[in-house]
Amino acid sequence: MTHGEPYGLDETHEPGLRSWVESANAPGTDFPLQNLPFGVFRRKGSSEAARVGVAIGDQVLDLHGAATAGALARMAPGGQVALLAPTLNPLMAQGRAASRSLRRAVHGLLRADSTRTRRDPALLVPMQDVDLLLPADIGDYTDFYASIHHATNVGSMFRPDEPLLPNYKWVPIGYHGRASSVVPSGSAIRRPGGQTRDDDAAAPVVGPSRALDYECEMAAWVGQGNLLGEAVPIDRAEEHLFGLGLLNDWSARDMQRWEYQPLGPFLSKNFGTTVSPWIVTFDALEPFRVAAAARAPGDPEPLAYLDSASNRSRGGIAVDLEVRLSSAAMRREGLPPLRVSRSSLSTIYWTLAQLLAHHTSNGCNLRPGDLLGTGTISGPEKENRGCLLELTWRGRDPLLLPTGESRRFLEDGDAVILRGRCEREGFTGIGFGVCAGIVG
């Protein structure tokens, strides 16, 4: 891809086009022809190696099989070789141009006027018949603090006179997480143990966390990396991002409160992070670009390396997020998960491009498959709070469940389900699938 090549809208976004995979044409499906997210799967009960695939309706298109069968012969040889790998890392390494070319080729195979894939039914696998795996080998994981509403709420609990520290509006705040404990949607999360200290206690104790929480975030997956010592300019930052998914960075709030000073979270965060299995590409998200969130009057303008006209005008993405909670008792009684919050990626203070530009501004090298989390995404209203710490205000206002149970923080057997969706008049809505985990 040449620098400055516009992505923009093309026929893959055309809302009138339908797929011969009928489930992809169903109203409200997450995976219509206009989406085509990438992931990694294995057929249930098989010993086959993991395979790269694309979600289409309630099916998975086997890209390994398609490449082997010659169905993607128009792609560059390097792109076809990447599809034979057991992870998305080789495809990610080839950059945005390669993933865009592949998305267009898959679109051509799956649209209603195509006949090629119909002759190869083995290339389609029902999603119910596969295990969805981590989409990439994750070398490094960085979690940010990009939502000013979340930062202000949390700061208000502990520093009511100064909710935001002086650096927040100048620099994207982040910390290095633990890649080894990132797990795919559906994995159980074991309650962590560690040191905690109550306010009136003279010394800490060691035991299971009593304040286990979820965090509604989005995952930005790094595509093409950068060399050590090479900063990525903000106008090229999105060229280094492969796509977006959902992320739940489970947190032990009582452990976090005791350990976070002076170096930030440690054992309170590194025991489990859940990601959704499908990665929605930036090309699929093109119709849902919006301006970066407006800064309040009096806020400083971003420093030059974090600022550009294009980032201001289209640095945001309108992804509507929701969190649902289901207790073990609710499931026994056949009750559906309760929606506990709604928020939007479009409200974050620091855009995805700013996060990556800042991450590399000191010469830090990112690699294909690295994972960047946005941090908890909250909004201005109570219903927009993206974690229980905020929703219950440190447990002061418990959340009531349909069974009569209450929750200050998560109990064993609780399931947390994150979903995300993009909608815009004149375009076909797309979704991200599910990011779910149960406290086991």
Q: Is 181 helix (H, G, I), strand (E, B) or coil?
A: helix
**β-strand pairing of 141-144 with 371-373:** parallel
**Which among 309, 278, 311 has a CA at the least distance from the CA of 293?**
311
Catalytic residue at 150? yes
Answer yes or no: are the C-beta atoms of 319 and 218 closer than 8 Å. Answer: yes
Of 150, 240, 358, 359, the catalytic one is 150
- Cα separation, 245 vs 130, in Å, equals 19
Cα separations (Å) of 213 from 25, 118, 251, 410? 36, 46, 5, 6
- Cα separation, 38 vs 103, in Å, equals 9
- Hey, what's the torsion of the CAs at 223, 272, 433, 282, to 10 degrees? -20
- Hey, what's the torsion of the CAs at 44, 47, 50, 56, to 10 degrees? -30
Max distance between CA atoms of the chain, in angstroms, equals 73
Q: State yes or no: cis peptide before 90, omega within 30 of 0.
A: no
Answer yes or no: are the C-beta atoms of 22 and 299 closer than 8 Å. Answer: no
Quote the DSSP letter at residue 157: H
Question: Which residues, in sequence order, are bridge partners of residue 314?
Answer: none
- Cα separation, 77 vs 68, in Å, equals 12
Element (H, E) at 154: helix 148-158
Give the residue numbers marked as catalytic. Answer: 150
